[in-house]
Amino acid sequence: MSGSSAPKNIFQIGLKLWLILLMVQLSNMLFGMTITIANVVLPQIRGTMSVSQDEASWSITLNLVAAAVATPLTGWLAGRLGWRTLMFGTVLGFTISSFLCAVAPNLETLILFRIGQGIFGAPIMPLGQAIILSSFPKHL
C-alpha cells in the first residue's frame, strides 16, 4: 500500500480485510469449541453409548493427540498446497468430521471421527494467524 492510501488504524481497512478477519476468527472459534464441548457432553456420551468415564474420555484425549501431531505439519502443507486451498480443505474436513461425530453409532466410530476433527482442525489456528499477518498492513 502506498503511504497516502494506507489505513492509519484498524477502522479504516476495507471490507475484504474485515471478511478475512471474520472468517478466520469464526474458524478458530469452531475448532476451540470442539475441544471444550466434548467435556460438557461427556456425561451424555457415557449414557448414550453405555461406556465408562475412562472409555468416553478417549474421545477427548485422542482428539488432542491428533491435533498435537498434525499442527507442526501446517507450514509444510501450506507451502505445498497454498494457504487458501489448505484452509478450505481443513474447514471442509473439519465440518464433515463434526457431522460424522454427531451421527456416530458407537464409541469406536466417535473416537475415529474425533481424531479426524483433531487432524483437520489442527491447521486452522496457525494457518489463520498466518493469513491475517499476510493480509493486513504491517503497521496495524
Q: Which amino acid is at 1?
A: M
| pLDDT of the residue at 102 | 94
Contact 85, 31 (CB under 8 A): no
The label of the residue with cell 460438557 reads 40
**How many Cα atoms occupy the beta-carbon half-sphere of 15 within 13 Å?**
0
Contact 65, 118 (CB under 8 A): yes
| pLDDT of the residue at 9 | 66
46-59 confidence digits (pLDDT tens) = 999 999 999 999 99
Q: Which amino acid is at 123?
A: P
How open is the CA angle 22-96-64, to the nearest 5 degrees? 80
Contact 77, 85 (CB under 8 A): no
Q: 77 is written with which cell numbers?
A: 502443507
100-137 confidence digits (pLDDT tens) = 999 999 999 999 999 999 999 999 999 999 998 888 87
Q: Rg for the chain (alpha carbons), in Å?
A: 18
Average pLDDT, stretch 67-82?
95
